[in-house]
Structures are given as structure tokens and as C-alpha cells.
Chains A and B, each alone.
Chain A
Amino acid sequence: MDAYADPRTDAELLAAVADGDRDAMSVLYGRHAPWLVLRLSRRCADPSIVDETVQDTFLAVWRSAGKYTGQGEVAAWMWGIGVRRLIDTLRRQPVATVVLTEPTRTEISAEEQVLLGVEYGDLAGALHTLSPELHAVVQATVLDGLTTREASRLLGIPPGTVKTRMMRARAALREELV
């Protein structure tokens, strides 16, 4: 793992990228491309769209590295760019070719139950009770940090539907958790 042999932190690398350091850029790519490809692949099933999005993301990182304020994780900043690039790319595609990934499995092993219990408390169990449609909205808005409008583009449903599903999800979660 060459990218992790570099002693600089992500923020330091990003500062070097802002000064036009191509090597720092390649180290950042080595560190962040793997998870970014995987996570985007979970939002969009078409590998060519994911590849294009990853490209666009790192180009945007190169061009706007100077705008990173130093607050928050570099990875979170990159994900913010990446998921919006994905929405932009999806918008350029004819609707018919866009395939969104469905949740693959709803079963959960005992081991995961423990892991999730540690991480999220009762929330994990409550999230499991949501339908895939409601869960997709929670994922886009709460976990991916998208606005209603952006979530509606990513999921291919009207903004009003995002809002009503979010309300229903919130009500369902409240019921489960109280």
C-alpha cells in the first residue's frame, strides 16, 4: 500500500495538491479511490457511470483543493463532491439506462446484530423495519447528506415524494425507538 507509506496526512496532501503537486494527488487517489469506487457502486449499478464519476470527482478535487477549509474529514469532503458528481452524471444519462442498486439482502446475522448494536444502538433494528423505499430515502438524505432535491435526482423520484417518504420513515423510526 504505497499510498499509506507517505507520512503526510490527507489535509497536508490536499494543501500540496492546491499548490499543483501531482504526486500528492496520486497519493490521495491511492488512499481514497478504493472506498469511493465501492461506495459509489452501491449507489449506481452501472460501472461506466461510476468510473466517470470517480474521474470527475478527482478532477474536482484537483481544481478545488484550495477550497477545502481544513474542517472535517477530507474523506467526507470528497464524498460530498463524489455523490454530487454522481447526480450530475446520472442527470446526463437517458433515464432508461440508469439502474439503481436495490438493497441486496434484508437478513442480518447475529454477529452483525452485535456490531450494529454497538455502533447504532436500537437505531439499527429500527432501520431494518423500514421498507426499501423508505430506507433509500433515509440513506440519501441522512447518511449521504443530500438535500431533498439532490436525493430526488439520485433516486429518480419527485422531490415531494422524497419529503413524504422521509416523514413516513421518521414516524416509523419514532414508533420503533420509543
Chain B
Amino acid sequence: MTTAPGSWHLDSALVRRYVDAATDAVTAASVEAHLLRCAECRRSIAAGTVDSASVARRSAIWTDVVDRLDAPRVGLLERVLRRIGVRDGDARLLAATPSLQLSWLASLLLALGFAVAAARGRDTAGALFLLVAPLLPVAGVAAAYGADVDPAYELSMAAPYRATRLLLLRSVSVLVASLGLAGAAALALPASGWSQAAWLLPALGLSVTTLALSTRLSPALAAAGVSLTWVSVVVRLLQLDRTADIAGASTQLSFLVLIVAATAVLAVRRDQFDTRSAA
């Protein structure tokens, strides 16, 4: 620099040429370096771009900026879902699932932790874990959708969006999340081999049954009924000291049949979710 800053400014001809991109690269670089430290010349540039197209373009950008300032910040789960290719609308609906919230998953982990600790403490082949693990996805599915738990339930009933689709989307995500956590917890069980996985089919069977029953009852009621039945069966087996039966082939097979039957019921009665009024 041979002159002190401030003694050189853009004249109107140079402003015009820069705005029209008619300057050569070196002149443009010179102008740009100057603009960074001269408010006066930035003002000249602004005054040189008041044609309607430029003004409209800037106000359109500003409108978008304001929109994005007003938009609520997107949560972690929603960002992850979008990143792996879930559509924006579906990601929002999934992220709003009550039983996919951090607090829910944390309490799930806590319950699993207690079950695992109990199984490690006493040598009962993880009967308590077997009791608890299938109940968690059932509760999660029941709390994924419905008038009792979903703050946006009324909105979703009025929205042009299939309730069945929303229900299945959320149920599958909840199942994946809770079964994944339970599976991870099962690895910490003292017993090994098949008995570690004995809870999986009951968990799926009870969850699908809950969904099938939800076509007639409220999800909470369906889940409560299914859970009570499961608990009484397991407690009875515990009294008879026959909990190993759950891991047996016949029990596992009957849960497989239950899954198929409940899925069939769900498929036939799925329209009930759309037509049924708020339960």
C-alpha cells in the first residue's frame, strides 16, 4: 500500500463496473479489499444496487433468514433420522414419539439394569430379566401413539396422513430401540446361549398382540391386559420352578404362532386406527 487507508475511494464509475461484474480480476480484488475496511464505499455499493431485481433478491433472502431464525431448533434424533434418509415429515413425527424420548429410554435402561443385576445376584437363570424384557417394548408401543399419550393426537387425527402409517412407523422404531437396548442388556446376563435370547419372541409376540388389541381397545388398556397376562404366567412358572420352559421349543413356537396371528388381525383391522374416534 502506497497510500494511507481512507484517501482512496470507489468513484461512481468504478462502483457501476464492479456491480456489473465488468472489472477485471485485479481491479475487483482491489475493490473487495477496500470494501472490507471502508463503510463509505460499502454504502456506495449498496446505493448502486437498488434496482428492483437486486432489492427483491435481498428481501427474499432476508425473509428466508427470518424464517429460519423463527424455526425451532431441530433435535438430535430428528437430525440423525434425516441424515440417514428419513423424509423430513416422517422424521418430525418419529422424533415426537413419547416413548422415543430420552427420559423414556433412560427409564428403560434403568429397568433393564435392575433386571440384569437381580439375575446376576441370584442364580435364577435370569427369570426376572425374562419377566421384564418383553414388557418394555409392550409399554413402548402402547405409549407411542394414542389420545392418552400423544400431545399431537388431535392434530394427527385431522391431518391428511394415514393413522396406520404413523402407528406402524412409530411402533417399529420403538420396537427397534427397546429390543436393541434389551438385547444389549441380555449380553450382560450370567446365563449364556439360547436362554439369553428367550425373551425376544415373547417381546415381539406381546408387542404385536398389543397393537392388534389396540384396534378395539385403547392402547393403554391393551398393554395393561397383555402385561398382566404375561406377568401372571411367568409368576406361575416361577412358583412351579419351570421358567426354563419359556426357552423351550414349544413355548417359542407358540409365540411365533401368536406373532403371525396378531399380525394377521392387525392387517385385517388396520383401518380401525383411521376411522375410530379418539378413544
Residues of A with Cβ closer than 8 Å to B?
Answer: 1, 3-4, 10, 22, 25-26, 29-35, 37-39, 41-42, 47, 51, 54-55, 58-59, 62, 73, 75-76, 79, 101, 103-108, 111-112, 115-116, 118-121, 124, 127-128, 132, 135, 139, 143
Contacts and interface: CB of A to CB of B under 8 A. Distances in A.
Contacts of B26: 108, 116, 124, 127-128, 135
A42 B23 CA distance: 11
A79 B1 contact: no
Contacts of B64: 51, 55
Contacts of B39: 10, 31, 75
A1 B46 contact: yes
Counting contact residues on chain B (CB < 8 A from A), the size range is 35 or more
Contact of B68 (A32, A42, A59, A120): A59
Given A29-B62, A35-B42, A120 B1 contact: yes
B30 A35 contact: no
The CB with the most chain A CB atoms within 10 A, among B3, B26, B39, B47, is that of B26
Contact of A105 (B1, B24, B43): B24
A73 B37 contact: yes
A127 B33 CA distance: 15
Contacts of A33: 58, 61-62
Interface stretch (B13-21, B82-90, B238-246, B251-259): B13-21
Given A38-B19, A59-B68, A119 B61 contact: no
A130 to B, nearest CB: 9
Contacts of B37: 73, 75-76
Nearest to A9: B39
Interface in B1-55: 1-3, 8, 13-14, 18-19, 21-30, 32-37, 39, 42-43, 45-47, 49, 54
B68 A103 contact: no
Interface of B: 1-3, 8, 13-14, 18-19, 21-30, 32-37, 39, 42-43, 45-47, 49, 54, 57-58, 60-62, 64-65, 68-69
Contacts of A103: 24-25
A34 B21 contact: no
Given A118-B2, A124-B30, 19 more contacts: A33-B58, A34-B46, A35-B46, A37-B57, A37-B58, A38-B19, A54-B61, A59-B65, A73-B36, A103-B24, A104-B23, A104-B25, A112-B23, A115-B27, A119-B30, A127-B26, A127-B29, A128-B24, A143-B33
A98 to B, nearest CB: 18
A1 B43 contact: yes
B35 A75 contact: yes
A82 to B, nearest CB: 11
A3 B8 CA distance: 23
A101 B25 CA distance: 10
A51 B3 CA distance: 35
Contacts of B68: 55, 59
Contacts of B2: 118-121
